[in-house]
A and B are shown apart, each in its own frame.
Chain A
Amino acid sequence: MTDAPTTDRWIRYLNLLQLALAGIIILAPTVWMVLSSLKPSFEVTAYPPTLVFTPTLENYVQLMKTTPFASYAVNSLIVTIGSTSLGLLFGIPAAFAVSWTRVSWPAILTLAARMAPGTLFLLPWYVMFRQVGMIGSYTALILSHAVITLPIVIWVLLPSFDGIPRSVYEAAQVDGCSVTRILWRIALPLVGSGIAVAAILAFVFSWNYFLFALVLSNGDSKTLIAAAFNFIGEGSTQWGALMAAATLIALPPLILAALVQRWLVSGLTLGAVKG
């Protein structure tokens, strides 16, 4: 049995090697995107591709100069923050009530949006929003994106509320607290971290969502994601600016997700897995 520790060590090395391989495959494309965005324009399309170059911000400057990038970003922020707030406003009390009563159909109803293809809702929304002249309005975009954020908020918060012991509620009721008061004064402070995760996930998925803004936004209200098309349209010679746009669009969700990485996967599986 003298060689057992040696075998163990080899297994460990082999495992680290596989981990490194997976890490390279996962990271390399993103690193390449960021590197390309920092290359001088003549070097972005160089073949063979170069790895060593003098980094420059000229692609970012060009992007800001030639496209209304900043105003697209403001549109994205308005829609994302608006729909996240709406999701929290409706989702927090609903998750609390579902957790309290154990009547789950309201939570399951909101899941329908997670399962059906977005175009299924987009067709009637388009017809209805057009009739009332709301195509291109922030209201239409925020309402449609709240369909994404609401189920995330409810399903992330359900396990948090479930974790509060019943005795806490009962004690408050003996003191004469109404249900609504228990939610705001007692339950809410106890699920603070759950609300942070819910808000961040809702923000990320609303920010990333493509389909609705593609049809419901117009020139003035175009979000960054919907405008991504315009950046591609500029042709393959503009790779530097395209990669600069891609990097900037990906930055907010990546930073936010890193903040809550530990709780993120259990939140993302809508309660199906406790990670």
Chain B
Amino acid sequence: MSDAAATLTQDRQRLELSALSAPAVIFTVAMIAFPVVYTIWLGFQSFSSTGKQSFAGIANYSKLASDYEFWHGLWITIALYILALVLQLVFGVWLALVLFHAKRLPGIVRSMFISPFMMPPVVAGMMWLVILDPSLGAANYILQSLGLPPSEWLASPTWVIPTVALIDSWQWTPYVALIVLGGLQSLPPSVYEAAQIDGASPFKTFQRITLPLLLPTIVTAAILRSVDLLRFFDIIYITTQGGPGNASNTLNVYGFRVGFEFFNIGYASALMLTLTAIVFGAVLAFNRLRGAVAW
């Protein structure tokens, strides 16, 4: 084949490959990139109650700084995020170790472990709403049988966020566990053998060898959960709609309500762009951490 003909084939090939990814790229630009640019523009607009639109400058953003609901929502979002993330990572690592030592994992057991996070969060919300009912729910019956005081769960302004964190952890701890299990299974067996020869206790082995080697996997699980937890919406919206009062009004729930219940599209855009910046910031921070703990 001559050089010219080879270049021709290569150009043709490159063109064909671009054409293959073009539909996905065009679709994403049309459905995401363009709307996000539009949202940025909407963030500088104000909408009157009659739907009239006018340029508002940075009014939406300066309103953010003095909006009590925004700061409250930010605090709720972060509290829920940290609580749920810690629960899921701690119990996820525990569950992974238990599964790892069980060696064989029949398909039926695996299916059982994935069932919480494969069901719609909305269904999980409906289900727990009934179980956690303050007067007739099974959860309070169990507490009382054990001689413990009953809880108001989702109906209590104090307990609603821990309760939501518990529901989400019920759904996603098995997911974290299966990711960490994958990490455990890929560790070289030689490191354990060396520790055994040195006579290290199981706890020391875990603390000094397993945990440091697992950290990159755990950080990966933390990133994947952070993205979902900071945008928390489904379970809260189906069970409390941000209540009681505003006790579970996370930023995503607040932004949704400002946009689609009060139809203040401009201010909702400013809120959502701020939340997006927080999510991307968290992912970048964790990515750096992953680089630091890599081996």
Contact = CB atoms under 8 A, between A and B. Distances in A.
B183 A273 contact: yes
A123 B158 CA distance: 31
A257 B25 CA distance: 28
Interface string B169-197: 01000110011011100100000000000
Given A19-B99, A48-B141, A124-B39, A210 B119 contact: no
B279 interface: yes
B81 interface: no
A105 to B, nearest CB: 9
Nearest to A208: B120
Interface string B17-47: 1111101110111011101101100100000
B164 interface: no
B37 to A, nearest CB: 9
A211 B253 CA distance: 10
A100 B33 CA distance: 25
Interface in B260-279: 260, 265, 268-269, 272-273, 275-276, 279
A112 B33 CA distance: 9
B136 to A, nearest CB: 5
A273 B220 contact: yes
Given A49-B138, A266-B182, A112 B32 contact: yes
B13 interface: yes
A123 B25 contact: no
Given A208-B119, A228-B238, A253-B120, 4 more contacts: A47-B136, A120-B36, A250-B119, A265-B182
A218 to B, nearest CB: 13
Given A30-B119, A94-B21, A231-B126, A127 B265 contact: yes
Contacts of B126: 228, 231-232, 242-243, 245-246
A67 to B, nearest CB: 14
Interface in B107-138: 107, 109-116, 118-123, 126-131, 133, 135-136, 138
A100 to B, nearest CB: 6
Interface string B223-250: 1100100010110011000000000000
B131 A29 contact: yes
Given A22-B98, A45-B136, A269-B179, A124 B42 contact: yes
Contacts, number: 266
B268 A123 contact: yes
Contacts of A110: 24, 28
Interface in A136-195: 143-144, 146-147, 150, 154, 178-180, 183
5 contacts: A127-B265, A232-B126, A254-B118, A257-B118, A261-B114
B252 interface: yes
A44 to B, nearest CB: 8
Interface in A104-119: 106, 109-110, 112-119
Nearest to A211: B233
Secondary structure call for the A interface: helix
A132 interface: no
A126 to B, nearest CB: 7
B18 A97 contact: yes
Contact of A123 (B17, B33, B39, B94): B39
B288 interface: no
A267 B120 CA distance: 18
A90 interface: yes
Most buried by B among A154, A207, A231, A257: A257
Interface string B53-89: 0000000000000000000000000000000000000
B289 to A, nearest CB: 14
A239 B112 CA distance: 25
A210 B265 CA distance: 20
Contact of B255 (A109, A119, A124, A262): A119
A236 B133 contact: yes
Given A210-B233, A274-B182, A275-B178, A32 B131 contact: yes
B286 to A, nearest CB: 11
A4 interface: no
Contacts of B178: 265, 275
Contacts of A59: none
A4 to B, nearest CB: 12
Contacts of B170: 25-26, 29
B123 A249 contact: yes
Nearest to A36: B130
Contacts of A225: 120, 122
B101 interface: yes
A93 B39 contact: no
A68 to B, nearest CB: 18
B115 A30 contact: yes
Nearest to A17: B98
A89 interface: yes
